[in-house]
Amino acid sequence: AQGHGPGRCRCCCGEEAAERGAAWALYLRIDRQRLQCLNERREGSGALVFRAWEERGDRAKFVESDDDEELLFNIPFTGSVKLKGVLVMGEDDGTHPAEMRLFRNIPHMSFDDTAREAEQTFSLNRDPLGELEYPTKIARFSNVYHLSMHFPKNFGAETTKIIYIGLKGEWAEAHRHEVTICNYEASANPADHRLEQITPQTHFIS
């Protein structure tokens, strides 16, 4: 990668794209069993919009609202997240969400709960190609284990459609003691469990 000589850009486009994709990898840290999307027309479709950066252009995967234009996502993470930016991609028409409100650490939010003040509110532009990044106030989103995203309105259509949501930031493991308890409960025999843990690492090193 450094064969260009001094003073020239050191990274090739492929690497740059891969780095950009890695920055949007928080979707891997979502606890999908507990992910909720309220007012989704097709059950389970809300989860489809959280996917790899490289797959953001797959327009066959989307969520559309049902009764009206509102959508509400409850997104639990598998650890603690520092959320740095959000990207929302939709169609270039009235179904694109026009506003996004973010709430942190209020599990199982309902539409009634959205009456409270959001941590941060964004006016959205139509973004059919997934090019616009909305930076969060990092101080407010530095220890997020649960993120709620409320889309109260769109650009005039009866329903709202979202193709891709990108979450950018850093992830840290949950507190050690919680992890230890889980491990202990999950294993019948601690001695067997220790062996299991050692073996994969050995393979990994060689």
SS3 category, 195: helix
DSSP string, 64-117: EBSSSS-EEEEEEEEEEEEEEEEEEE--SSTTSB-EEEEEES-TT--TGGGGSP
Q: Which of 56, 53, 57, 59 is nearest to 26 (CA)?
A: 53
pLDDT recorded at residue 9: 44
49-82 pLDDT per residue, tens: 999 999 999 999 999 999 999 999 999 999 999 9
* Domain limits, the chain: 30-173
Query: What is the pTM (predicted TM-score) of this model?
Result: 0.78
- Is the pLDDT at 106 greater than 70? The verdict is yes
DSSP string, 117-175: PPSEEEEPPP-TTS---EE--GGGGSSEEEEEEEE--BSS-SS-EE-EEEEEEEEEEPP
- Is the pLDDT at 10 greater than 60? The verdict is no
pLDDT recorded at residue 23: 84
pLDDT recorded at residue 13: 56
Higher pLDDT, 89 or 206: 89
Assigned token pair, 6 = 């001094």
Taking each helix axis from N to C end, the angle separating 190-205 and 176-186, rounded to the nearest 10 degrees, works out to 110
Higher pLDDT, 164 or 175: 164
Q: With cut-offs at 50, 70 and 90, classify the pLDDT of residue 205.
A: very low
Task: Return the CATH number of 30-173, one of 2.30.30.830, 3.50.50.60, 2.60.120.470, 3.30.530.20.
Answer: 2.60.120.470
- Average pLDDT on 12-33 reads 81
133-149 pLDDT per residue, tens: 999 999 999 999 999 99
Q: 6-15, 27-36, 106-115, 167-176: which has the minimum mean pLDDT?
A: 6-15
